[in-house]
Amino acid sequence: MSDIPLVPIGPVVAMNYSVSPEKRLALFRFMEEAIPFYEKPGGIRVKLYESADVPGTFLELVAYASRKIYEQDQYRIENDPEYRRVLSEWHKFFEGELKISRMLPALPVDLKVPVNDTTFDATPDVETSSVARANPPKFGRGRGGDRFR
């Protein structure tokens, strides 16, 4: 096993939010059940991080294996009543604003560049080609769009 951490190769949605100290443990219990539900279709990973500097401030990352899986998840979010119910429960934990960032890979995912190498082959793969950049996924309603508001 390598000591290099894995990084997502597809789209990523990052959500920042705060939770009051009274709701913190309840959020953890909720996420223990919600994460397997979110990941159920496959090709989706969800991880919850808490700020080391500001307890109660969270970063939730949703990583997709591909753009296709992202788009399929958007359809599920918009059309699955059970998903809408889970999101409604999730909203009850927030204190203040939810901040959402939707990210696409900026470089080819198959680069094998030594840390001290200043040159690299930037040949784009399918996910990061100029065509893909010119036609980014539609981040409208759904996980990372208006669904959180």
98-to-11, 55, 90, 125 alpha-carbon distances in Å:
19, 16, 11, 33
pLDDT at residue 98, as a whole number: 94
Q: Which amino acid is at 144?
A: G
pLDDT at residue 112, as a whole number: 55
pLDDT at residue 65, as a whole number: 93
Q: What is the average pLDDT value for the chain, to the nearest integer?
A: 79
Q: Is 10:70 a contact under the CB 8 Å cutoff?
A: yes
List pLDDT tens digits, range 33-87.
999 999 999 999 999 999 999 999 999 999 999 999 999 998 999 999 999 999 9
pLDDT at residue 35, as a whole number: 97
12-148 placed in CATH 3.30.70.100: yes
pLDDT band at 110, cuts 50/70/90?
low
What is the pTM assigned to this prediction? 0.69
φ/ψ of residue 64, rounded to 5: -110, 140
Q: Where are the domains of the chain?
A: 12-148
Q: Is residue 9's pLDDT more than 50?
A: yes
Q: Is 60:45 a contact under the CB 8 Å cutoff?
A: no
List pLDDT tens digits, range 111-148.
554 444 444 333 333 343 333 444 444 444 344 444 43
Hey, what are 16's tokens? 């920042």
Which residue in 81, 48, 79, 94 sits closest to 142, CA to CA?
Answer: 79
pLDDT band at 1, cuts 50/70/90?
low
Q: Is 74 left (phi over 0), alpha (psi -120 to 50) or beta?
A: alpha
> Counting Cβ atoms within 10 Å, is residue 106 exposed (0-12), middle (13-18) or buried (19+)?
exposed
> Counting Cβ atoms within 10 Å, is residue 43 exposed (0-12), middle (13-18) or buried (19+)?
middle
